Chain A
Amino acid sequence: MAIATPPTPTAAERMHLLETMWEGRPGILGWFTTTDHKKIGLLYFWTTLLLFGAGGAEALTMRTQLAVPNAHVVSPSTYDELFSLHGITMIFFFIIPMTTGAFGNYLLPLMIGARDMAFPRMNALSYWIFLWSGIFLYISFALGVAPNAGWFDYVPLANGHYDPGRNIDFYCLAIIFNGISSTLTAAQFIVTIFKSRAPGMSFNRMPLFCFAFLAASAGLLFALPLLTADTIFLFLDRNVGTHFFDVASGGSAFLWQHLFWMFGHPEVYILIVPAFGIATEIIPAFTQRRVTAFPLVAIAELLVVFIGFGVWAHHMYATGMATITAVFFGAATAMVVIPSTIQVFAWCMTMILGTARFKTPLLFIAGFIFMFVMGGLTGIMFVAIPFDQAVTDTYFIIAHFHYIIFGAAVFPIFGGMYYWFPKVTGKLYFELPGQISFWILFVGTNLLFFPMHIVGLLGMPRRQYTYPANLGWESYNLAETIGGYITAAGILLLLGNLFVSYFRGEEAGPDPWHGATLEWTTTSPPPPYNYAVIPKVSSAYANWDEEDRAEDRRKLATGVLVLQEGHEQVAVTPVDGTLDEIVEMPHDSPWPALLGLSLFLVFSMLVIGKYGVAGCFAIGCVLSLFGWHSKEPQE
């Protein structure tokens, strides 16, 4: 049972004292200077929703252009910008920040029994960098120089000779800029998981959601630098006259592809593994059963990212590399499906063996499993190199990755929105519109993406702004466009339901689902300090351990592990969660927002070629960092 009301008057005093110590500044200034992971998570949530809208609008415009043959809704060059921006936005500015920035930031400290992340100010910095990088990217769209060589931006199309405008410079710098945010987030999550867990939460007692975010964070940390190197080389080739990708001067166009996909394949696992984590928390809550084969699911989440680092050249089977090199990638690609399969079996077995209540969150997870398996089946077909070469750059590929990304990443995100809505807002959503939104989305996305398999096998290439009539593609494209609009309607219903529920929903209480993890032991929404007493943890399903929760209420009454002498948090040893020290956390700070703005100015000057001015703003960044570290947490 949650500590929603204090058990004794002394406990009430303690909670009040914690409230005054941890609450942030009020008003707008509070949002600009916050270091509270919950507020940062909400900032991420709203910003990514806005960018999701932009990416969705780009998609709908493309679908409208392709609804009928020889349409002229947009020009070819605008179409190039649309498909490029759509891919960049959805991957870098929606899925990653929504899963890691919004869900991860809000929930991770709660799930491990912490009061905040390990580095709260750096957490705020991640958000401000993300926001400014999104603004930076869309300034390019406003100026008519949006990236236009696809989200993976192959050379030589993207080099200075064939794409002489600022489009690709915006691409390179936006990717690097955004990558800083994601790298900081990844480092944050790993250190928080290692050091900030509740005492006694050894790795075998950590929720599977946290394993998923550990895997995704490790993936981000090791994959992003590869993309950073690639985009630095491209920027230098375009602006400084280097020859990394210039074949005539000893460079290699394949170098771009190798480095890109060394990042790009782990990236796709980074997109879906946090969503696996969301699914792995929703299923126990709505089946009231522990996940089958817990250690296998935990290692599968880590393995899928780890092995995923070794399969990159399966995106390059059509480039003519030696077969003997392709063997290594084929072998690893064939086996990387096994960890995902382990998870699918575990989820299905948990639902079969438990008492499944198909409320809206579980419906979305069921839809996710269906679509992920569909996408996985087409994915495994690409292991066969001849088949892969036949369908490379056709709509079959688009069908595959949209089933995976929309099915395996976006559906769990929607399910997670419903599942944690009561915790974040304190209100219950309306169930019937929720279920209707699921079915509209399920029908819409299948109508949108399934025909792409067929039209791809019929030969329709990707990234074509129109197509001639009488090739047999028309009805499929029209069906896809209708599916796109149905999907949009489903999303609007979902968001509308949550919006109305926020104002008119019933009070949720701390634990409407009898969920398994620690966040359900505190109030809805959680107080600024998360937990009045650092929780006792004996298993990965802490909310189901009644004795431990009773112990927490006794500890609150006596003051043990209440940590009320300051802005205090525990630090533990990484593997076994042995209590190691009690640390003081920093308070709200304006420096992250200021540093984010300074970095934006640096990148803005770089994109217009004013390197000296960029250097001056970089000095400003360094001074911001000195200012940031001038005041220590205990001062």
Chain B
Amino acid sequence: MTDYIAGGRRLEDVPKTTKATGVPAVQYAVARRTGPPAAWWGMLMLISSEGVLFAAMMGTFFYLRFNDPQWPPKGDPEPKFIIPLIMVAVLSTTSPMMQGAWRAAREGRLMMVRGLLFLALIVQSGYFAYEVTDFGHEIQKTPISNDAYTSAHYVLLAADHAHVFVGILFNLWLIWKFSRGITTYRANALQAITLYWHFVVLLTWAVIGTILSAAVG
């Protein structure tokens, strides 16, 4: 009785998405779906939670700033402008790469998916490697235990870098999975992880903006 209508939709039109493996089946299944899958919603929940965590950290930065007549306090260096902005712009290029990979997955272009994921991984890893090295140099010169400013500054940066690292792990997993072909499960994961990377890019802009605000006013 596939002409049965359940919840406003004919049963025969409803895809059995998880069973779809291989390019044509996955393309068909994903196209017949009207909304994002549960994986995407789950990722939205994760980034909502992490977003609030970062809002708390950025709020803390500003709260402490408005309690302190001089910010950064005497003895702490002013934040650098040019290189952090260049680096976050570089990281931002991964957003269209991930979005392109998801689009290619929907269109069944597996080689393009693998290529874009690999390219994104290179950019993300390069960004991460530079940032971790720079973080190490900074913290050796000006320790975290100096005062409240250095505490908030380094914890905010470290949390952001940790989220970039988690994203890199996600991408490594995706590259491994897509090297073995495509299933709807993997396509759903790619859609969710693309959302994660959009969040991380926006977050990094917000974090850098917060850090650089110490040099203003």
Contacts and interface: CB of A to CB of B under 8 A. Distances in A.
A–B: direct contact at CB < 8 Å: yes
B173 A250 contact: no
A250 B53 contact: no
Contacts of B33: 580-581
Given A225-B52, A242-B155, 8 more contacts: A187-B42, A195-B37, A199-B7, A237-B151, A251-B151, A561-B4, A581-B15, A582-B15
Q: Give the secondary structure class of A's interface.
A: mixed
A275 B127 CA distance: 48
Contacts, number: 184
Nearest to B154: A242
Contact of B63 (A230, A258, A578): A258
Nearest to B145: A241
A226 B37 contact: no
A573 interface: yes
A574 B35 contact: yes
Of B52, B73, B151, the most chain A CB neighbours within 10 A belong to B151
Given A244-B148, A583-B18, A634 B1 contact: no
A24 interface: no
Contacts of A232: 155
21 contacts: A118-B38, A119-B42, A190-B41, A191-B41, A199-B8, A222-B48, A225-B49, A226-B53, A229-B53, A236-B155, A259-B60, A559-B1, A561-B11, A578-B34, A580-B9, A580-B14, A581-B17, A583-B17, A583-B37, A632-B186, A633-B18
A259 B55 CA distance: 11
Contacts of A548: none
A221 B38 contact: no
A582 B7 contact: no
A216 interface: no
A200 B85 CA distance: 49
A582 B19 CA distance: 9
A259 B152 CA distance: 14
Interface string B138-173: 000001111111111001000000000000010001
A566 B20 CA distance: 13
Nearest to B30: A581
A249 interface: yes
A634 B185 contact: yes
Contact of B38 (A244, A579, A583): A583
B151 A200 contact: no
Contacts of A241: 143-145
Contacts of A191: 38, 41-42, 45
B6 A579 contact: yes
Nearest to A248: B147
B68 interface: yes
A159 interface: no
Contacts of B15: 581-582
A613 interface: no
A483 to B, nearest CB: 40
Shortest 7 CB-CB contacts between residues of A and residues of B: A199-B7, A241-B145, A187-B45, A250-B148, A584-B18, A242-B151, A229-B56
A229 B148 CA distance: 15
A23 interface: no
Interface of A: 118-119, 122, 183, 186-187, 190-191, 194-196, 198-201, 221-222, 224-226, 228-230, 232-233, 236-237, 240-244, 246, 249-252, 255, 258-259, 262, 534, 536, 555, 558-561, 565-566, 568, 571-574, 576-584, 622, 626, 629, 632-634
Contact of B11 (A183, A226, A560): A560
B31 to A, nearest CB: 11
B56 A226 contact: yes
Contacts of A224: 49
Given A249-B147, A250-B68, A561 B6 contact: yes
Given A225-B49, A225-B50, A244-B151, A255 B60 contact: yes
Contact of A186 (B45, B143, B148, B151): B45
Given A559-B1, A566-B19, A119 B38 contact: yes
Nearest to A249: B147
Contacts of A244: 60, 64, 148, 151-152
A580 B6 CA distance: 10
B204 interface: no
B196 to A, nearest CB: 14
B21 interface: yes
Contacts of A251: 64, 147-148, 151
B50 A250 contact: no
Contacts of B8: 199-200, 576, 578-579
Interface string B27-70: 00100111101100110011011101100110010011001100
A237 B99 CA distance: 40
Nearest to A244: B151
A200 B68 contact: no
Given A221-B48, A255-B60, A200 B148 contact: no
A532 to B, nearest CB: 15
Nearest to A187: B45
B94 interface: no
A113 to B, nearest CB: 10
B149 A580 contact: no
Contacts of B38: 118-119, 191, 195-196, 571, 583
Contact of B185 (A201, A225, A633): A633
Given A249-B148, A252-B63, A561-B4, A632 B16 contact: no
